[in-house]
Each structure stands twice: as C-alpha cells, then as structure tokens.
Structure 1
C-alpha cells in the first residue's frame, strides 16, 4: 500500500513537473508566434488596401479626365463627341468597368457600355452607345454600335424602355453634393453582374449643376482581385473576403474558383457566407474596429483576424477582412508540445502497470466527457435548427395567408355577382383552390409534428366521389393550360360513404396530381380509384398516372425524402421544394396505408397509395333523377375519356347509349348529344343540325369562347374533368328534370335587408358601434352592415367610442386595432374595466391574421377577431351570435340589390376589384364611383408623406401613412396598391430599408395604373347604366 502510494506520488510529481514545463514552453512560443502573426496581418492588410484602391481607381480617374476636358464649357455636340472619345477606351479595355455615362438636369443622357448578347431579342451585344438628346419626344433614345469603317458608328434598333437619369438613385445622390458618391451594390440590368456605381457631380463656373458623371464598376473583378492578392500576400490556408459597411458580402475568392453554374447568381452564391454559423459571419460580427487584430473562435477553429476599411475618397467604402488559422500560426508550438508530451508519456510508462492503468482510466474519463460535450452540442444545434425552422414556417404562413385571404374574399364576392354557369364553376374552383392551399400551408406548418409523431388524423364520414372530384377540379385549370387531358376514373361499384380524413386524402391527391401535371408536356393525367379485394372491402388503391418524363431507378430511390428532388435540374426547370412527396408518405403511414411509384424513363409514371377506408353505407352514388328514358349519343371524345364516360353514364341508368369517335355525316338522333369541342368547323355545323339537345365537353377557355350560333344550341357545358355529377346533370337538364344554371349567380338573401333607425335599435340595445379611423373603411363597414339590416354608429377612435358608449343602447362593438388617441386593445381593456353587470361583446377588426394578434385580442378582453378585408359571411355569423336582439328589427329592402354588371369586362382584378363596392353599395353605381374617387383623392398625398418621411428617416410617420394607405386601398378594391402599402409597412416594421425603398418607388406607378383602369371601367359601367 505504501509502495503504491509512493509510486503514485512520484507519478503525479513527474506528471505535474513535466506538464508545467510543457505548458510554460507552449505559452512562451504561443505569445511569440501570435505576435509574429499580428505583424504579418498588419503588412498584408496594408498591401490589400493598396491593391483594392487600384481596383476602384477607374472611377475617380474617368472623372478627372472628364473635368480636365472642360466639357461643361463646350457646346452640346462637342461635349457629346468628346465624352464618347474619353469613355469608349476605358469601357473597352478595363475589365471592371461595366459602363460610363453622363446624366443632365434636363433629362439628356449619354452612355457607353459593353452589352451582353441576348438570345431572346437576337441582339449580338458588344460595345454600344446610347444617346438620349431629346428626352421629351424620344425618351428611350438612340443606340449606336461601331460601323464598317474606323471611327464610324451606326444606329441600331434595340427595344428599350424610356429612361430618365434624374429619377435614378445615383443622379439624385450626386446632384446634392460636390463629393463623390458610391451607391449600394446591385445587379446591373445590362450584364446581370453585381456591381456599384461611382457618381460625381460636375458644376459650371457659375456654380450651377451641369451634369452627373457615373461609372458602373463590376464587383465580379473584386473577387478575382482578392484571389490574386491572396495568392501573392497570404498563405494558402488564410481567409480573405470583402463586405460593404453594413456587412453584406461583396466578394470572396471562392466565387472565382466556383463552377460557372454556381456563378450565375452572384448574390445567392455570396449569401451562403452570411449564414449564422459560417466563419465569415462570425468574423464580421467579432471584428468591429478597422486596424484591430484579435483572436476569434469559431466552430471550425480559432482565427487571428483583422479588418480594413477603404477610404471613400479613393475607393468604394468597403471592409476587407483577413484571417489566419491559429492552427497554422501555432504549428511550431504544437509540435514542441507534442514532443514534450511524448517524452512525458515515456516517463510515465516507465512507472509500470499502475501508471498505465491510471493513464488508461484518465483517457476513458476524458473520452466520456468529450462524448457528453458532443451530445450537448448536438442537442443545442438541433434545438437551434428547430427554432429556426419554426420561425421560418410561422413567417411563411403569415406572408402566404395575407394574400390568400384576399383571394378567398374576392372569390366569394365574385360568386355573388351575375355569372354564367362556366364562370360560376371557375369561381368555385378559385375558392376550392384557395381553401386547399391554406390547408396545405397548415400541413407544412405541422411537418415538425409529423416528424415528432404528434400529428393526429381525423376519422370522419366522407364522400369518396366528392374528395376525388374536388381535387381534380383544382388540378384541371393547370392541365388545360398545358393541353393535357385529365381523367377521373372511379370504379362505379365502390361504396361512396366511408370513414377517413378528407383533408389529408385531398392533400395527397393534390400533391401527386399536381406533380403529374407539372412533369407532363403532352398526353393525359389519370386519377384512378379501385378496390383492393385481396386486402378486404375497406381497402382502396388510388393511382395517379401520367404520360410524362418518367423516372430512372436511381431517381425513384431519392423520392419520398424531405427536401429532396429526383434530379437537381428538376428544381431549376419545374420548381418546388421537394417536401411534398415526403409529406404524402408520412400521411399515408399515419393513416395505416402505404405509397409507392412505378415508372420507366420516357414512359411516364404511376404514383399509387393504398388506404383502409371503412365503408359506412354500402350504396353507390346514384343520380338525383331517373335517367333511364334518356337516349344519349357521345361523339368526339378521346378513347380514354369515352371509355370512362360510357361507364359513368351506364352507372347512372342510361341504357340507350351510342358511342362515336367522330362526328358523322348523319348525326345520330338522341335526347342529348354529348360532344367534345369541335376538331373542324364542319363538325359544329353537323351537330347544330342534329336532333336532340347538345352538351359540350372541353376546357373552360374553349367553352367560354364558343361562337354565338353554337352557344344557342348548347344546353349544358361540361368542363374538364369529366365526372359523374356533371354527366348526370347534363342528362337531367336535357330531359327537363332540372333547370340549367346558366346566368344564375349565388343569391345572398343575407344582404337584402334595410336597417332600422338608430333610435329603434338603441331602444333594445341593438345598435352596432364601430371604432375605425380610416374613412374608407368606415364607409365600407357602414354600407355592409346596412345591407345586412343592422343600425350602425361610427366613431373615429377609441376615445370617441367611449363617449358613444356612455350614451348607451349598443349591443356590439367592432373596433380597429391601430387607431390614434386610443387603440383597440386599450379601448377593450377600458370597456372591461368600467362595464357593470352586462358584458358588451367586442370584436376586433385587423389586417394581421397572425395567431399572436388573436392572443393579444383575447388578453385585452375581446370576444373575437375578424380579418380585413371583411368576409361578409363571417361578419354575419358574428352578428347572429352576439346580436340576436337585432334580428327582429331587420326588414326586407324595397328593391333588389344589383349583383353586378351585365358585361364581364376584362381587366386585372388585382388593380381594381369592385366586388367590395358592389357588396356595400348594391352595385358599381354613381354613389360607389364617387366614393372610390373621394377615397383615391388623398392617396397621392399619402405617398408623398411616405417618401418625405423616409427621406428624413422618420420611420414612425412613414409606417403610419403606409398603414392608412393600405386600409383605404383594400377597402375600395385597390388590391395591388393596398398590398404594396402593406409590404412597405412590414418592411418598416422589420427595419428593412432596402425593401422599403423598393416599395416606395413602385407606389406611384401602381396608383397611376389604378387611375387608368378605373377610368376605363367607370366609363363602361356608366354606358351600361
């Protein structure tokens, strides 16, 4: 025991002394090597600064040449010729110069650039001059290229948009200062490369501005310069890159080394280096002061790093970062430490078995500690990735839901207007598509739940036919655009009422069907549903087949994995995230099913999935009426469509059925002739002479553009896809058993009431109080409530609403969230504080559909939340629930509301959608037009307020004006203007100045677009009135 103790003590003493000596030697060498590394970095930093100053020298050099030539004192023609003489050489010879130009205060413009060839326009590219010498009559200017002889330039015909240099950021910035100006990096339209513009004003002797010189400098050469300088000044393992003063990556030697395909999108390539955990991002965040040298720790190791900022008077103000790997700097110290450790190890081994076991135990403990540390690090990394994914999905959901709310609301209002059957069908498809998309967004948000096994599936009664046909209706428009046939083939003897999850079933069908259409250029897509008798009566097999590009064995192996596509070129050509098939697989597994694919390259593919869906009712779908007396002739359908149509008709009870591939010379008689759209004019003539009634099957666009003589003969239009309900309805109409829906829109009896007087409503506490600061929104909500039969009182803010509530008689409070004086949250809290026994229902009106907003409304004491633009059905539900005492006060309106114009004018409904005005005013009448004009009268002032506030860096005022513009525009149907204002508001909330600047620039053109569109619409509607 004593010997063991002595041995152990000696071992520990040798270990301590040896370790101490090794540590002292290591620290001494560490300090010397780090000091040497600092000195080398200082030298390299100064050298890099000189090299990069030379890169930007062409900008100031061209300016000196132009000013030395005294162009401002010469005639217009002499100045133009001399400018081209000075600028042409540098553009031709200097690789970093993309172009040199002169802009004048009167709008004239001179430009020399080396254009990139364009395969679209056939333009050969090359050295080109642009001259805008008459901006009033020819704002696009003239284009000149070298002619046949030396010094000769010939005019070329190049399509170009008008150009005004005075509206460009480089001109505006340089015109107000006598110092050089460097723009923020951006992508040049002429070459597609990333670069900056050097701009410098030129003044006459009398002090007035003569013009602004600009030089476009490509930053592509910056990465090459960094690589050349790095190879000369630093070691192969050193790190060099450049950013702007805000930390945006501008150049990296890796860009030069990258493959050509990777260099096509410079900004995307460089953005990888600003990832949160990249070495470059950590260096940018750690080294703040120019000239400072410090050690920075990263996950890839430690670096000795420094930073240099270029002088803006000599070059573009950018930051250059240099870093040396500490492992390289400390190589000698590590080698000495390793040698000392080896000697120490030999000494320890000499102590025998006891020392060996001690060392072995120490190694095992260290390994276990390291493993635990690795596990902790892996856990932290996984948790960080999960948080980042959740934040991304939440943001994406909000960004997508905002426009989708508009799509669904406008589709709903469209369905109220006067539509023919085909238009009503298209409106239904819009609503179904939007609803399906929102459902898919919810599924993507639940992807993490799927991974964690926490997503539950429903097991409710559903209609198999409705689910499959509904999914096909959503897919059909895209198939029509590509000229594909879409066939729904459901086994006719299958029971329709089953147990399952209709949302998940529809999602899988939409995903697989959408993919089939996406990857098929010609032919057909077929959705087939069959029983699986080998697995029992409750099992069904769904197949989605196409005649598309097909898959190789290797590609099939990559399917059904998250964020993976069968071929990298797929994403470039067809788009998509690679997430859909993975979700389909997980959903099938959750529903106790399975999924797979069968395919050969060039022969199409069949994706299939099998699900257990318990039969609830054994009966199969049957038509509403007895169709057995009908004589039906089917002509002009594709063989696949004709075969399915025959089975569907026979399943509906039709026995007298004739199938013809083409229209014959003597059309067969029948009660109903079902024909595909005509292959030739003579087919139409023959069918018009046929006995019986005519139903046409085809694409929506084909059916909507039929000649008038054909339209008179057609009693029913069957849009793709061909389904049992459509065929059966066509026969019922032909037999007179059912009325055609031609010309009928959805009736809205809930919008056909007149309100009581305010005194009548106040007497029974049925008066609706609205707190809304935006006058446009006030008018819309007032009109909508009036047409629903409710008396309303409107106040401009929370304080006024409190005063109104003090007078009594109110049964419901609708309040905006953002208002002056007192916002909606404070108003709700005040009401709850001051109310006595009777609780007043409070509903929020907000444009923000985020769950956080709804939670904040609940916390303030509100009873619910409605999103803008207001859904009239949702509003009606709220009124029926919270204001039952007002129902008996509503009385029918004296006249029927106008449901829309008699003509379907064609314009972009994103620019102006009159649905909300028609709903609020009963039509786009003179009162509605005047309301739109009065609302629009202040929008120009709002846009000016936004621009002025941003110029003065007053984000609060700019956000307030943007919020006001958004609400007013959306309320009258200026959807595009309202959404741009909303995007501007979001950019200001996120301190994204670059995006805010972009949004401000397009506000005024969007307003002009709105003015031009409404002027034409009002003129047409005025004539109809």
Structure 2
C-alpha cells in the first residue's frame, strides 16, 4: 500500500471518527432531550392527573351542593306548602260553613289559620335573614338588655314545646349578671332556636339553660349554654351542622319536622353580634350548644330615638281622656309584669318592667314613673332595702310604691311609707285599688294616620286600631298623607316606606323640612331591614321601627300606646269618624 493510500485511509478514518463523535454527541443530546421531554411529560401527566383530581373534587362538591340545594328546596317546598295548605283549606271550609250558617268551629278554624300563617312567615323570614346575612346586608339595633328578663320571656315562650315531649326545663341565670348592650330580638331568636331544637330532639328528658359571665382581656362576655339529654349527634355529622343547605340527616328533619336552618341562622346572628355558637355532642347521650356573646355589641346602635316637641292642635277639637301614665313593675318574674300590664290595660298606663332591683332603681331614675309595683322578694336585693333607696332619694321619694308579697306585711309597709300592699296571688281588684294612686289622665286629642298603599293591609290596620278604641284615618299615598298632616295634624303616624307615589323616607324628610313642621311620633312598618343610609335619614323623626308580620296586632297596639304615652302632649280621640277640614 502506497503512502498516498495510507494517508487517504488515515484521513477517512479521522473523518469517520469525527462523524462518529458527532453522531455520538447527537445521540447523547437526543437522549438527554428525550429524557427531559419524558420528565416534562411525566410532570405534565402528574399535573393533569392533579388537575383532574381537583376538577373531580370540585365536580363532586358541586354535585353535593346541587343535591343539598335540591334537597333543601324539596324540604322547603314541603315546609311552605304545609301551612299554605292549612290556610287555603280552612279558609275554604270556613267559607262553606258561613254560607251554611254553621259557626260552631269558626273560632278554632281561625286560630289554625293564624297559627299556620305565623309559621309560614317564620319560615320566609328565616330564609330571607340568611340571604341578607350572606350578602352582608342584615343590620342590628343595639339597646340595653336585661339578661334575666330576656331569659324569663324566652323560657315562658318555649315552655309549651318543652312540655309537649314531656321534658323538664332547668334554668340557671344569676340575677346580678351584667346588663348587655346588644340586639334583644336577635338574642331572643337565637336562644329560642337552641331551646326549640333541644326540646324537639329530646323526649322525657332534661333540658338545662345555664347563663354565665366571664371577662377576657377586659371585655365582658355572656354565655348561654343549652344542654339536653336527647339523641345527640355523631362525630362524623357535626361538620354538617352549621352549613347552609346542608342537614345532618334529612330523615331526622322529616321525622321531627323543620327545615334544618335554625342553627345556621342562629350562628350567623351571633356572629353578627360579635359572638359565635359552639357545640359538643355524644351520639345517644345528648348535646350542649353554647351561645357566647360580648356584653357590648361591636357597633353603635343604628337608630337613636328622640322625644319630639309638642304638636300644635286645633282649638275646636273635642277633648277626650287618654292616659300618658307610666307604671314601673320591679319583679324577677316576668309573668307578674305581664299580668299587671294586662290588668291595668293600655288605656290606663304604659307598663315597663325591671327584673332586678338595680335595674329597677335605674329605670325609676330614667323614666320617673307615676307608680311603682315592687316585689318584697328580689334576687339581688331585699325589697325593703329597695323601698328605702326609693324613699330616701329626693327625685324618687314622691312616687307611690305598691309592695307585692306572699304574706300580708301591711303594717310594716305603711310604717315605711308604702302607698299600698298586694298579696299573691295577684287579683284584678287589688290592682284596680292600687291604681287610685295614678294621677288623673291628661286631656288631649288627635287621631292615628295610617299611611299604607295596600288596601287590604290598610283596612286590617284600621279595623284593628279602631277595635282597640282609637280613631284612625287612612292615607294610601304620600300626597294624601301630606294633605292630611298639613290640614289636621295627627297624634301619631304609622308609615309604610313603600308607597305608590313616593318613598317613605322622602315623605319623612319633606315633613321635617316644611315650615311649622308637625311634631308627632312616627312608627315605621317595614317588610325588610332598612339600610344604614335610610336609618340615618329617619333618625330623630321615628319613634319605633317594626317589621311587618313580626308582631301580633295586640303587640302593635301596645307599642303604639307606649309611644303615645311617652309623648305627653299628644293623645287620641276615641271615635271612628275622620277629622273634619
């Protein structure tokens, strides 16, 4: 082989080596690229699987939510249809009986229609309150709350349900517990829900309500613990308890009745007031639900009520007799206050209550009542000591005090300056005799103006108030109301904010800005909560705000009388004809 051939082969070999190195490097790069792509693919597959799992979980949660909402709608449909069926059915039955001249069961049927209507309203309010809370639109009105008194009214209300399942209710509530500043209606609603659930799921057992007070970091807290010996809740079901549209066991709600929303609403209301509801439960043993609230709610009250100045009145009006007296009842038992209020009647005085001696002294200073009923046996302070405190105070010494006791201690009472003495059980004659110490009624005149655009509701208000002996005039529009108020000022106004021709808030502002403005208490009847802006606008011109349907008509007339009683220069003319002029 020649030198040239060797050189050629050597050159070809070097070239082959270069090509081999190139392809080896290319193969290595391809392998690395393939490995990297494989790793990326594996990572992508893992991400896709993770995404798939998340999507599947979201789908399952959405399906569960849809099933829960479907079940909730089915349950609510049943809950709503049941009272509606009773209302429609008994109305048709009554119509047939009246046509036939048979009135034997009319009173019973009317009561059933009324009860079904109240139940239906409660269901609707629960759903609406929940939706407003979720939207952050539900407001609350804070005021001084006497805890023993509100506990007494709640237990009195819940007792029929407690006794229905042959249960026993035990209440532990210290009389000296701190006075709260919160929304009493929402506290009462939440407490009623907790006690109602305990009564519903307990049979022939014991339900215990324990009220305690504690201080954490300088802040006073009040806890309401409701313990029962009912069916209890298993650990795996507790997480569902406070979820909207989710119920622990739908079969339980069918067996025990109810929409399953009471606990959810109660917890949301407590959170709105700055507190919460917690629970402990053992299946088959019982449950303990604890409602813990700050003694002072986290926000200032929305509406401050001011006393308006006297209204001008036409000189030629007739002058009937209407009382503006205030009677203070100091008794730990709220039933005593309710009984005295019933025996006195709204035409004689507006009755206010104090469940403890300390609150009684404070209220006496605040309102300066014309007469005081005082129980000798008070939980926080002896009644005779309270009497001495009243009689040694220059501002209160002139107020007549009627002592209430289980035995006759009249001689001791008279020696200490007692005006009269009543022994339990309280009867009507004894209360009537004690009322001789009330001052003579104020001679005033006027009428109630009901501003309501709905004809049926306006007629219902008119018949109810006239049935209570009050004079009523109806205005169906804002313009009619302005005309009536300008030509003949009323003693009080009941106002619906939703009028056909103008907004009710605009009507109040118009009255406020007019020259020679008419001063009279205004009660607003609303179907939903007012916004903060609307409340600010009506502040100072409104005596009371009531939710439509949340009060019975007897409660409405009592609220109206109390508003008029505190507005000392205004009264009512007890006849039915409208004003002239």
TM-score (norm 1): 0.26
Rg larger in structure: 1
- Which structure has more relative contact order (CA 8 Å, sep 6+)? It is 2
TM-score (norm 2): 0.42
